[in-house]
Structure 1
Amino acid sequence: MLPNLRLFYILFALLFGFLLCVPAQAGAQGKKVLLIVAKRDFEDVEYSKTRKALDDAGLQSTVASTKTGTLKGRKGKRVTADLELKDVAVADYDAVVIIGGNGIKKQWKNGDAHRIVREAMDQGKVVAAICAGPGVLGYAGVMQGKRGTAHPRSGAKSVMRDHGCEYVNQDVVVDGNLITANGPGAAAAFGEAVVKALQ
């Protein structure tokens, strides 16, 4: 009986010691990210590379769109949307990330997307958008007085400027909890910037 009790205490001590070490090493691990993705014509590379950075960091990602089920990328990538934008409870997430591509332009003036972005900013969450995605941020009114970037030929650049944003010609721009990136080539760095902001 005593040897078993001794073994129990040893295992308990090891487990307790391990749990004490986890928070220092975890960083962003376990935090939750909402990915807003267009139902059609999202940019495949932007989704894949951003998602990989989030997954590699141990973040939990949820995909939201204007519909649930299968979403189709510009080059044929298929992604499953877990919930509709109208059903998103922003308080459940640590970050909101908008994936670009031509499809997201149809959501630039989407009221549900605007609500999500505004609530996230008000709650001090990380808010990020890439390529044409910053157009949503511009129309949501959260870029006033901020610095940001977008794909120069997406039309988002004009939207951002028209809504008080200082456009910067860089791959990735971080202004407080707001992160923007200019396109597929910056997707990996964009994902890493989101991870870093959540650490």
Structure 2
Amino acid sequence: MALAAVNGASSSCYQPAAQALLPQTVPAEARRAALALSRIAGSSAAIVGASLGGLLVVAVGPGWGLTVDALSFALAAVPFALVRVKAAPPSPRAGIVHELRVGWREFTSRTWVCVIVVAFCFLNAGVTASFTVLGPAVADTTGIGRTGWGLAVAASSLGAVAGGVLSLSWRPRRAILVGCALMGLMARPPLLLALAPHTWLLVIANFVAGLGAVAAAPAFLWR
């Protein structure tokens, strides 16, 4: 639990920094394509990595598999360290309390931002629970089995690749509205787990959900 807390704290630092790095290294007119390519690469790596991870666990066991996993994160720091961006000049700061107050005022002054954040609180809770707890539990107690659940998760990654390809050229007029509608596709896998836990239905639903989630990402990140 302590290590999980440390991991969560480090992720809260990593995620904003990593998202801010891309627009600093890519021209403004190419950012949408760069984001899509980044999502495609990440989803493709998830598919290949999951397969290699399974082979590694079979070959040397889960303990050594987790060791290799930890080392891979350390190695990932090397290419990040090699990225060079133009440093922004330091600006005078009024203190963290003042910055939090200003940030909260800006956040609450935009209704659409508040609504989306609240909606994603529920969405992330539901999706995380269905993929990490409910999905494996249902798979073990129904005809889906662990192999079937593995196929369903892999289908989500394949859908994410397809969504990345789609977002390279697709630019809807009302991006935020379309993005929110696409995120609604994430509700299908949990509903199927509850009402119709069949392997191929889950494979199709996860593929569609992964496609929608990644295709919607540019609408929120580049607003």
Question: Which TM-score applies when normalising by structure 1?
Answer: 0.25
Whichever structure has more strand as a proportion of its residues is 1
Whichever structure has more helix as a proportion of its residues is 2
